[in-house]
């Protein structure tokens, strides 16, 4: 885990380098994390440099090493914190179900938390996709961090899935296919954005990646997935 904030002063960014976030009240550690997300998004873990992260954050390189020791540790912290935040909320939904809760509610919770989190930090899905595609020596680092952050959430969801299927409320579909379909639709929402924006201009279609769009996307994925596995009454 990252070390606690220090009282040490930071140095200004180098000439020509614009800090990613210099709002009043933002700690040095928060600025470093924000800078690192952008650096990892653009260059991947292998191509990222601690000096470049320091320049983006408007701090000196020594301070980056003070908090995180290495870029691998910094990357691990970013991935773990994001996935922990997502699954912390999903665990909370599983622990406090509504009276009308069903498997549709669980699907919606997963889809909503991922999309809302990625919408707030759109560089995150790009970082994850880059590492998944490259499958370099750091892949295991990413995978272990993700699995640690997720915890028992998937097992709990799978148990509910089996219970609902046994009761005849949903179809006995392949669970791996179901997971791949849900995650695929979540990720394509973000990685397809450059293509969608080009098509928008060519087709003259106007829409924005705003709260309305993301809410509609959550509804669409949830309905498409659940309606596809819901058992029809005979």
The pLDDT, as a whole number, for residue 230 is: 93
Task: Quote the DSSP letter at residue 230.
Answer: B
CA distance 4 to 98: 37
The pLDDT, as a whole number, for residue 14 is: 37
The pLDDT, as a whole number, for residue 12 is: 39
The pLDDT, as a whole number, for residue 96 is: 77
CA distance 6 to 3: 8
The pLDDT, as a whole number, for residue 25 is: 66
Question: Tokens at residue 35, please?
Answer: 């800078």
The pLDDT, as a whole number, for residue 3 is: 44
Question: Tokens at residue 149, please?
Answer: 């952050």
Which parts of the chain sit beneath pLDDT 70?
1-25, 97-101, 136-138, 234
CA distance 68 to 60: 13
The pLDDT, as a whole number, for residue 177 is: 95
Q: What is the pLDDT of residues 162-216, one digit of tens each?
A: 999 999 999 999 999 999 999 999 999 998 988 888 888 888 887 789 999 999 9
Tell me the three-class secondary structure of 31-91, residue by residue. Answer: HHHHHHHHHHHHHHHHHCCHHHHHHHHCCCHHHHHHHHCCHHHHHHHHHHHHHHHHHHHHH
- Which domains can be identified in the chain, with CATH numbers? 1-69 (1.10.10.60), 78-229 (1.10.357)
The pLDDT, as a whole number, for residue 128 is: 80
CA distance 23 to 35: 13
CA distance 182 to 194: 21
């Amino acid at each position: 885990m990252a070390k606690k904030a220090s009282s040490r002063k930071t140095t200004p960014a180098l000439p020509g380098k614009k800090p990613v976030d210099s709002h009043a009240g933002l700690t040095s550690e928060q600025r470093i994390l924000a800078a690192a997300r952008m650096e990892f998004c653009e260059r991947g873990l292998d191509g990222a440099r601690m000096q470049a992260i320091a320049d983006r954050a408007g701090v000196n390189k020594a301070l980056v090493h003070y908090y995180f020791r290495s870029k691998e540790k910094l990357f691990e912290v970013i991935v773990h914190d994001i996935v922990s935040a997502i699954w912390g909320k999903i665990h909370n939904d599983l622990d406090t179900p509504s009276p009308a809760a069903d498997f549709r509610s669980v699907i919606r919770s997963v889809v909503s938390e991922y999309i809302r989190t990625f919408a707030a930090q759109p560089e995150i899905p790009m970082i994850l996709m880059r590492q998944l595609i490259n499958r370099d020596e750091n892949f295991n680092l990413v995978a272990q961090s993700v699995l640690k952050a997720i915890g028992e959430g998937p097992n709990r969801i799978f148990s509910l899935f089996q219970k609902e299927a046994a009761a005849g409320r949903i179809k006995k579909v392949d669970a791996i296919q179901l997971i791949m379909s849900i995650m695929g639709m979540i990720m394509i929402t973000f990685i397809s954005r450059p293509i969608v924006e080009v098509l928008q201009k060519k087709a003259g279609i106007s829409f924005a990646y705003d709260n309305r769009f993301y809410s509609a996307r959550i509804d669409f994925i949830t309905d498409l997935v659940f309606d596809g596995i819901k058992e029809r009454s005979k």
